[in-house]
Amino acid sequence: MVYTRRSVWPLVIGIIMVAYAYLVQSGNMAGLIKFLNTGRYAGEMVTLGYAFGSVAVVVGLWQVLATPREGHGDYYLSTVAGVMFIMLVAFIVKWGLDPLMASWGHAARPTLGFDFASVLNLNYVVMGILAGIIVVNVFKVPQWAENGVRLSRLGLKTGVILLGALYSFAELAQLGKLSVLMIGVFVLGSVWLVLTIGMRRNLPNSMTGVLSSGVGVCGVSAAVAAAPVVQAKSLEIAYTIGTILLFGVLCMFLFPIVGRAFGMGYIQFGAWAGTGILNSAQVAGAALAFQPGGIETLKVAEIFNITRVLFLPIIVLWLAVWYVRREQAAQRTVQQVDAMQVVISKFPIFVLGFILMFLLSSTGIFAPARHYQGSYFDNSEKALVRKDRAGKEIDNHLTEKEVATLRGELDKVKRPDQKAALERLAQNRKTMSEDDDALVRGVINSKALSKEGTAVLAKAHRVVRHTAPKIAKFRDLIAWFFTFGLVGLGMQITMSSIRQAGGQPLVIGSIVGVIKAVGSLIVVLLLVAETI
Amino acid sequence: MEDKFDRGSALTVFPSDRHEDLVALVLSLVIAALVYFLV
């Protein structure tokens, strides 16, 4: 089978991307950028426009001029056109529709009484997935792009592995403990519940087994992984995938709205989405939809998601043993289970990649090893005295006036350790250690000083905290990998695959899915604090 | 989409999840190296 479809469209897309990048770079789009308030994206408009546009032009020319022959070259090169198609949709949504909708939502507020873009959570993540769903179900994905759309899950997995670079030991240790506890309860509980209800309703063992894995662990991948060990039939896998997709898509759009209604913070929402949403891809979608301007929620949600993915080999082993026992009890012959073989064959390698990236980052090659969320402490002269773009020196030590303000308010601080830290700050005109920085933050939060005094402390804190440029780059790249993956994911959610859901599997899946979502919401609201 | 492809599956171009994981791992390491050397 030859996968490359002769079409002029990849070339046209490439020319559009390069032309747009050139127009932005030359300042010809300044009016539009100002109108949409997208100045912060101007840099990436130029870089990504040229980068993806050039590739699309080269591959587009090859597709028009060359005669592809069946083989690896044709198979993998034909994916490039689909990648460019997804990226074009992502660019339009992120740089055009998202700011436009925000602007309309704001403008309609006096008339409607609420900001519809904010209430309906119409950010680039939600609109990107919706755009994908509309493209595939209303217009159909063009034939020349179909093969490339199947790379979207690769994008999501690469994003998850790269995300490993952004965690610190402290963060991972504390979130890890919480996630193992919550995921342990909810994953094992959901699998057990599906198995129990399935047995009571006399569902075939293969159907119950594959459904329990999909609903309990991480969705479609888990269902596919468990299918061979419970000898599930194609129709049973299709029922499970339909149920998971239907439930997952609903959750992806509803969770952020509910999260906002409950006033949840990043950690609470991340923990809830990572536990309560059935499918891995939709976890990322909901987390980014909840916080489109940053990835703190995504980081928390992915720790929970990775924890449950780690449960997959255990669950598959459990199901294999359960299935053999059930079938033997029904006096049907089945093959015995090789536990070690099941665990090794089902272990998700991309989770190892995430851990590897975290370990690499922990050596300090991307940011000082003690960084927290990419931010690190540095009070050296080099860090405090810098030059601006014009070459003018900027000294970030406290000024004499600021020191005088601080000294005048020292008596308002009662705690001896905090007072000593402020005295050291006033004496040296800079925060002297990471511990002192923590104490200064404590005084800021206690609001013990006047507005002016607190402003001095805020400056003292701000100038010794720095964001590592490499970590900042990782953040940008990760956000784009997830955007690509989620738009492509939308293009794989066809109505025909959702319509596959039905009958007993849909009833059982929905009951357990709702219990899991509501149960994890209650646990998160009651037990998970917003700070770690 | 299943019937349209004779390689991979409806969700991926790779022969298995493990292949996809390994490609994601290699891609991530290449990107990490680029960030390390260029940023």
Mean pLDDT of the A461-483 span: 88
Quick one: pLDDT band at residue A334, thresholds 50, 70, 90? low
Residues A127 and A272 both lie in one domain = no
Convert the pLDDT of each residue in A17-63 to its tens digit.
999 999 999 999 999 999 999 998 999 999 999 999 999 999 999 98
Last residue of a domain, one of A150, A185, A213: A150
Phi/psi zone of residue A219: left (φ > 0), alpha (ψ -120 to 50 degrees), beta?
Answer: left
Residues A144 and A173 both lie in one domain = no
Paired residues of A466 in beta bridges: A376
Q: In which element (H, E) is residue A349 found? A: helix A349-362
Convert the pLDDT of each residue in A111-127 to its tens digit.
888 888 877 778 888 88
Q: CB of A158 within 8 A of CB of A351?
A: no
Is A390 a domain residue? no
B24 → closest Cβ in A146, A154, A365: A154
State pTM to two decimals.
Answer: 0.80
Among A161, A346, A359, A473, the residue to mutate for chain B (most B Cβ within 10 A): A161
Is A144 a domain residue? yes
Burial of A361 (0-12, 13-18, 19+ CB in 10 A): buried
Residues A170 and A290 both lie in one domain = yes
Residues A440 and A510 both lie in one domain = no
Is A187 a domain residue? yes
Residues A27 and A171 both lie in one domain = no
Quick one: pLDDT band at residue B2, thresholds 50, 70, 90? very low
Residues A353 and A424 both lie in one domain = no
Using a CB–CB cutoff of 8 Å, tell me whether B33 touches chain A.
no
Residues A112 and A29 both lie in one domain = yes
Verify whether the Cβ–Cβ distance B31 to A158 is below 8 Å.
yes
Q: In sequence order, which ranges of A262-311 are alpha helices (DSSP H)? A: 266-276, 280-290, 296-310
Q: How far is CA A324 from the centre of its chain?
A: 37
Residues A285 and A144 both lie in one domain = no
Query: What pLDDT is recorded for position A197?
Result: 94
Is A189 a domain residue? yes
> A-side interface with B, Cβ within 8 Å?
1, 75-76, 79, 146-147, 150-151, 153-154, 157-158, 160-162, 165, 220-221, 224-225, 348-350, 352-353, 356-357, 360, 365-366, 469-470, 473-474, 477, 492, 494
CA dihedral sign of residues A508, A513, A514, A516: positive
Is A97 a domain residue? yes
Residues A457 and A363 both lie in one domain = no
Is A14 a domain residue? yes
Is A155 a domain residue? no
ipTM of the complex: 0.94
Is A391 a domain residue? no
CA distance to partner chain A, nearest, from residue B34 (Å): 10
Query: What pLDDT is recorded for position A369?
Result: 67
- Cα separation of A301 and A320, whole Å? 29
Q: In which element (H, E) is residue A387 found? A: strand A385-387
Verify whether the Cβ–Cβ distance A470 to B25 is below 8 Å.
no
Last residue of a domain, one of A467, A499, A514: A467
Residues A363 and A501 both lie in one domain = yes
CA distances from A456 to A128, A366, A407, A440, A486 (A): 42, 30, 11, 10, 43
| Residue A62, C-beta contacts closer than 8 angstroms, at least 6 positions apart | A77
Q: CB of A322 within 8 A of CB of A211?
A: no
- Cα separation of A503 and A487, whole Å? 30
Overall domain count for chain A: 3
Last residue of a domain, one of A93, A117, A150: A150
Mean pLDDT of the A478-486 span: 90
What mean pLDDT is reported for chain A? 88
- State the residue range of the domain holding A231: 161-369+472-527
- Cα separation of A122 and A89, whole Å? 16
Give B27's contacts in chain A (Cβ within 8 Å): 154, 158
Cα–Cα–Cα angle for A123, A52, A482, rounded to 5 degrees:
35
Quick one: pLDDT band at residue A403, thresholds 50, 70, 90? very high
Three-state SS for A265? coil
Quick one: pLDDT band at residue A530, thresholds 50, 70, 90? low
CA distances from A470 to A226, A374, A467, A473 (A): 39, 9, 9, 5
Among A158, A218, A500, the residue to mutate for chain B (most B Cβ within 10 A): A158
Closest CA to A460 of A398, A512, A371, A409: A398
Residue A422 pLDDT more than 70? yes
Residues A346 and A227 both lie in one domain = yes
Quick one: pLDDT band at residue B1, thresholds 50, 70, 90? very low
Q: CB of A354 within 8 A of CB of B26?
A: no
Residues A461 and A493 both lie in one domain = no
Convert the pLDDT of each residue in A54-99 to its tens digit.
999 999 999 888 888 888 888 999 999 999 999 999 999 999 999 9
Convert the pLDDT of each residue in A179-191 to its tens digit.
888 999 999 999 9
Convert the pLDDT of each residue in A145-177 to its tens digit.
999 999 998 998 999 899 888 887 777 787 788
Query: What pLDDT is recorded for position A532?
Result: 47
Quick one: pLDDT band at residue A371, thresholds 50, 70, 90? low
Give the percent of chain A with pLDDT over 70: 97
- Cα separation of A75 and A73, whole Å? 6
Convert the pLDDT of each residue in A273-327 to its tens digit.
999 998 888 898 899 999 987 888 998 999 999 888 888 888 888 898 898 888 8
